[in-house]
Amino acid sequence: MRKISILIISVLFIIGCKPKPVVHPTFYYWKTDYQNKKTETNYLDLFKSKSLYVRIMDVDFDPDAQQPVPVSPIKFSDPLPAQVNIIPVVYIVNQMFNNLDTLKNGELASRIARFVDAKVKQAGKQNYNELQIDCDWTKTTRVQYFNFLNQLQKNPLMKGKTISVTLRLHQVKNLTTSGIPPVKKVMLMCYNMGNLRKYGPQNSILDMHEMELYLKNDLKSYPLKLDVALPIFEWAVVFRKQQYAGISKRLNKTLFQDKKLFKRKGDSNLYALLVDYPVAGLKKDDEIRWEEITLNDLLASSRFLSRYLPSEERNLVFYHLDIDLLKHFTHENFQKVIADF
């Protein structure tokens, strides 16, 4: 019995001392002008980040030209820090694939590969190892989207490079209809999971009930390597007569404390505008839902995900690198979240 007890204790000790998987924390950079601001770059240094995910452009279908076109491509006012590699990200509007056939997919892949290569050089980098495609594909577009990914991988400019894609919660749960993209790894996007356009006091950025509903039973069995993206952003969602009217970039949390401008609805995150506010294009009686992410939100997400993610090396990416967002969190806050993985 004594030998058995010692054996059990030894096994438990070994399990308890099992090292956690390596986590590489970093950020998305989602602006149209890259500037090497010290306050933001310091976070990359603190995280010991070796890479930065940089949005290069959106791609949408131009009905006049009858072809895909780049939208709001980034410019580089400064080069990326020498010690930081670039992971370019291209966002493609999902509906665009309804307008493409296999031939046009090949043309799109070639144009994107050339465009990205040129932008990477503008960023002060001679090469890159990974290209991420961001697209919320659906059952009706998956065939053309997956075909595009295959065409992109075959492009000579992509030789030796990894292609990753973003993965939404519904694509995890509805694996049969969503399909498995023809890539080696995906970025699980743990935000924008609620109904942004639905009137009410919910938080559409992050909803733990939705995360559990879509991931609890299916995440462990997802067949591709999983990186993870978590939100740190905030926004003001505008409703006019309880109908979605857009997101206002002119509003910040401080403004809602002005009782001459806004009246809070109970203890919710809904605020009624008391006067016209032309600087933001808003009218009296418009309602604004202020959505933000707290440390508790991030910790709830990281603790949930740590229970269901496979134990493997991964990138953990916060969306996004912006000092106005970063100031809401300390380095210790981020380390608590990172430690959960």
Q: What is the mean pLDDT of residues 322-341?
A: 96
Q: Is the pTM of this model over 0.85?
A: yes
Domain ranges of the chain: 23-234+294-340, 236-291
pLDDT of 112: 98
Residue 289 bridge partners (DSSP): 237, 270
CA pair distance 231, 291, nearest whole angstrom = 11
pLDDT-based confidence at 4, cuts 50/70/90? low
> CATH for 23-234+294-340, among 3.30.300.130, 3.50.50.60, 3.40.50.11540, 3.20.20.80?
3.20.20.80
pLDDT tops 50 at residue 11: no
State the residue for tokens 């995890």: 172
Q: pLDDT value at position 21?
A: 82
Residue 321 pLDDT > 50: yes
What average pLDDT does the structure give for the chain? 94
Whether 16 has a pLDDT exceeding 60, the answer reads: no
What pLDDT sits at residue 2? 56
Query: What pLDDT was estimated at residue 19?
Result: 63
pLDDT tens track for 182-240: 999 999 999 999 899 999 999 999 999 999 999 999 999 999 999 999 999 999 999 99
**Assigned token pair, 22:** 């390596």
Whether residue 171 contacts residue 137, with contact meaning beta carbons closer than 8 Å, is answered with yes
What proportion of the chain, given as a percentage, has pLDDT over 90?
91
User: In sequence order, which residues have a C-beta less than 8 Å from that of residue 309 and are 6 or more positions away?
Assistant: 219, 220, 226, 228, 341
Kind plus residue range of the DSSP H or E element containing 246: strand 243-248
pLDDT at 101: 85
Condensed to tens digits (0 to 9), the pLDDT of residues 66-101 reads 899 999 999 999 999 999 999 999 999 999 999 888
pLDDT of amino acid 147: 96
pLDDT value of residue 20: 74
pLDDT at 102: 83
- With 0-12 CB in 10 A as exposed, 13-18 as middle and 19+ as buried, what is 242? exposed
